[in-house]
Structure 1
Amino acid sequence: MLRFALPLILLLFSPFSFADPLPEVIRLGIANAGAGSPPRAAIGPLGIAQQHQLIEQELANDNIKVQWIFFKGAGPAVNEALSSRQIDFAAQGDLPSIIGQAAGLNTRLLMSLGKSHSYIAVKKDSAIQTISDLRGKTIAFHKGTNIHLGVSRILNKGGLTERDLKVFNLDSAASLSAFLSGDLDALFGGLNLFRLEDLGSARLIYDTHQDPAFVRQTHILVDDTFAQRYPDITQRVVQALVRAAHYNALEEHEEEVLQSWATGSITVDHFKRELAGASIREKISPLFDTYTTGLYRQSIADAREFRLIRRNIDLDRWIDDSFLQQSLVNLQLEDYWPPLDQNSHPETGAVTGL
Structure 2
Amino acid sequence: MKKMKSILAIMLVSIILLAGCGTGSESSSGSSSAGGNTKPAGSSVSDTSQKGEVHTLKYGFVDQGSGVATGLVGIAKDQGYFEEELAKVNAKIEIIPFTGAGPAINAALASKSLDAGAIGDVPALVAKASGIDTVMVAGGLADAPTYVVAQPGKGYKSLKDLKGKKVATQIGAYMQRVLYLMLENNGLKIDDIQFVNMTAKDAVNALAAKTVDAIVVSAAQSQTLASKGLGELLDSTEGHREWLNSTATVFNASYTKENPEVVKAFIKGLLRAREYAQKNPGDLRALQIKAGTPENVIDLVYPDLKNYSTLVEADKDVIGNLKSVAQFLKDNKLADSVVDIDAWYNPSFYNDALKESDSK
Q: Contact 2:148 / 2:215 at 8 angstroms: preserved in 1?
A: yes
**Structure 2 gap segments, 5+ residues each:** 1-42
Give the C-alpha shift of residue 331 in structure 1: 3.0
Distance 2:258 2:308 in 1: 34
Residues 275-286 of structure 1: pairs in structure 2 closer than 5 A? 275=302, 280=306, 284-286=310-312
Query: In the alignment, does 2:161 pair up with 1:133?
Result: yes
In structure 2, the partner of 1:244 is: 273
Distance 1:248 1:219 in 2: 19
Give the C-alpha shift of residue 282 in structure 1: 9.0
In structure 2, the partner of 1:170 is: 198
Among 304, 307, 310, the alignment partner of 2:333 is 307
Query: In the alignment, does 2:262 pair up with 1:255?
Result: no
Query: In the alignment, does 2:242 pair up with 1:216?
Result: no
Give the C-alpha shift of residue 281 in structure 1: 7.0
Among 189, 194, 197, the alignment partner of 1:161 is 189
Give the C-alpha shift of residue 312 in structure 1: 1.4
Q: Contact 2:272 / 2:359 at 8 angstroms: preserved in 1?
A: no
Aligned residue identity for 1:200: G
Distance 1:315 1:59 in 2: 28
Provide TM-score, normalisation by structure 2.
0.80
* Post-superposition CA distance 1:306-327 (Å, at most 9, x none): 2211111111000111111222
In structure 2, the partner of 1:342 is: none
Q: Are residues 209 and 172 of structure 1, via their aligned partners in 2, closer, same or farther at CA, if it must alter by over 3 Å?
A: same
Among 325, 334, 338, the alignment partner of 2:351 is 325
For residue 143 of structure 1, give the secondary structure of its aligned residue in structure 2: coil
Q: Contact 2:45 / 2:55 at 8 angstroms: preserved in 1?
A: no
Q: Contact 2:133 / 2:252 at 8 angstroms: preserved in 1?
A: yes
Aligned residue identity for 1:297: K
Give the C-alpha shift of residue 55 in structure 1: 1.2
Report the aligned-residue RMSD.
2.3
Among 144, 147, 154, the alignment partner of 2:172 is 144
Among 101, 115, 118, the alignment partner of 1:88 is 115
Moved over 6 A (4+): 16-19
* Post-superposition CA distance 1:67-109 (Å, at most 9, x none): 1222222111111111111111111111111011001111111
Question: How many equivalent residue pairs?
Answer: 312
For residue 262 of structure 1, give the secondary structure of its aligned residue in structure 2: helix
* Post-superposition CA distance 1:234-293 (Å, at most 9, x none): 11111111211222233xx12232122224652233233223x55617962222222111
Provide TM-score, normalisation by structure 1.
0.81
In structure 1, the partner of 2:40 is: none
Among 84, 88, 91, the alignment partner of 1:57 is 84
For residue 85 of structure 1, give the secondary structure of its aligned residue in structure 2: coil
Q: Contact 1:195 / 1:265 at 8 angstroms: preserved in 2?
A: no
Among 295, 302, 308, the alignment partner of 2:321 is 295
Aligned residue identity for 2:277: N
In structure 2, the partner of 1:24 is: 55
* Post-superposition CA distance 1:123-151 (Å, at most 9, x none): 33222111222211111111111211111
Among 149, 152, 155, the alignment partner of 1:124 is 152
Identity level (%): 22
Residues 3-82 of structure 1: pairs in structure 2 closer than 5 A? 20-22=47-49, 24-32=55-63, 35=66, 39-41=67-69, 43-82=70-109
Distance 1:198 1:187 in 2: 16
Greater relative CO, 1 or 2 (CA 8 Å, sep 6+): 1
Give the C-alpha shift of residue 152 in structure 1: 1.4
**Structure 1 gap segments, 5+ residues each:** 1-15, 335-354
